[in-house]
Amino acid sequence: MTSPLTLRQQKRPLIGCTTYHKIVAQSPPIEVYGLMPAYVAAIREAGGIPLLIPLAAGEDELQAIFESVDGVLLPGGGDIAPIAYQGQSHRSLRDINPDRDRVEMFMVRQAVRAQKPILAICRGHQMMNVALGGSLWEDIAGLMPGAIQHDNYLTSPRTFLAHSVQITPDSKISHWVKTTELPVNSLHHQGVRDLAPELTATAVAPDGLIEGVEVSGHPFAVGVQWHPENLIYDNPTMLGLFKGLVTAANGRNETNGSNRAF
């Protein structure tokens, strides 16, 4: 087993990953905080070390964790509470978790303020927008005029390429995926409605839905609506987004030294 000292000597950056909360149906039932293995694999393939962030952490603990990691990943998951973006309740809303909303808002705002690298995926992409002052379509199919189908998680495997996105040339996304048009999977029913003032839209679906965002002037603050972690073996360019996160985190680690509390 690799020791913490060896990991520090290798200078592989620590990537703090927010988690989901589930109750495992067994006797007796148990509660867990978790992360899908595809995210873990993608971070490791890109050269980083994933560190899971528990949703029970208080603000002081979150600050200590934030200062100890070199970058942040916000994964996909359930819906964000509409109150966070002055939205409305909708019958399609599912798996709302106030603790997860709280933890991820903290991480987004701190990462933007401190210029710490962050990659936000699907729900994470939406949370980046909400945390910085934007809003969401509570349900794309029911509310967004002219929308294509985005909720393919109901009918298709996670690797199904549902549509392409147009990516802004010279953006961080285009740099790391090496193209300006990319076929992507689509596993969501919510999406960015009003874009937060600090964000720039850099990837768009055929129906105009914003599917990629960046913070201008930030080393690496990127959100994507699709799930690149599920596509890194079918399309290796998808790993580029994780390499972008890890590269930026590694540069910060080498420049600033380690602030790790463990």
Read off the pLDDT of each residue in 229-255 and give the average, rounded to a whole number.
92
If we measure between CA atoms, which residue out of 91, 85, 125, 90 comes closest to residue 108?
A: 125
Does the structure show a pLDDT above 90 at 68? yes
pLDDT-derived band at 150, boundaries 50, 70, 90: confident
* Residue 257 burial class via C-beta count within 10 angstroms: exposed 0-12, middle 13-18, buried 19 and up: exposed
pLDDT in tens, 73-129: 999 999 999 999 987 878 777 878 999 999 999 999 999 999 999 999 999 999 999
Identify any residues that bridge with 219 across adjacent strands, giving them in sequence order. Answer: none
Per-residue pLDDT at 168 exceeds 90: yes
State in words which class domain 4-135+191-196+213-256 has: alpha beta
Neighbours of 248 (CB within 10 A): 24
Residue 260 pLDDT > 70, yes or no? no
Predicted TM-score (pTM) of the model is: 0.92
Catalytic sites, residue numbers:
122, 227, 229
Residue 117 near residue 72, CB atoms below 8 Å: yes
Long-range contacts at 234-238 (CB < 8 A, ≥ 24 apart): 234/159, 235/183, 237/177, 237/178, 237/179, 237/182, 238/177
DSSP state of 57: -
Using one digit for the tens of pLDDT, what is the confidence trace for 6-32?
544 568 999 999 999 988 888 888 889
Predicted pLDDT at 44: 98
Whole-number percent of the chain with pLDDT over 90: 74
According to the model, what pLDDT value does residue 259 have?
53
> What residue segments make up the domains of the chain, in order of their start?
4-135+191-196+213-256
Query: What is the structure's pLDDT at 262?
Result: 43
Mean pLDDT (the chain) is 91
Residue 250 is predicted with a pLDDT of 94
Sign of CA dihedral 198, 138, 186, 227: positive
**Separation of alpha carbons 168 and 164, rounded Å:** 13
pLDDT of amino acid 81: 94
